[in-house]
Amino acid sequence: MHCAPGFGEDDYQSCVKNGLIEPGKAPVPIDADGKFTEAVPDFKGIYIKEADNSIKERLKNEGRLVSSGTIIHSYPFCWRS
């Protein structure tokens, strides 16, 4: 499980409520092309999905990986848009 306060209202509100971020300062470390920005220097310029395995490997090596797997879920959308 993770929170992405820069990409969803519920995540944002939850992070503010729990003091993880300051109101109005949601981090957005990904550019318009889906690549990490200088906010993530070790993965800067790498497309987010291409970085998945490297990020998981780092977390595992640091003893911080709790679990890894695939979850299939639908995304809410409006078919009229």
How far apart CA 36 and CA 19 sit, in angstroms, is 24
Quick check: helix, strand or coil at residue 58? helix
Q: What is the pLDDT of residues 7-50, one digit of tens each?
A: 888 999 999 999 999 999 998 999 999 999 999 999 999 999 99
Radius of gyration of the chain (CA): 15
How far apart CA 9 and CA 64 sit, in angstroms, is 26
- pLDDT bin (cut points 50, 70, 90) of residue 80 is low
54 pLDDT exceeds 80?
yes
- pLDDT bin (cut points 50, 70, 90) of residue 81 is low
> So what's the pLDDT on residue 78?
67
Cβ contact 10:1 at 8 Å: no
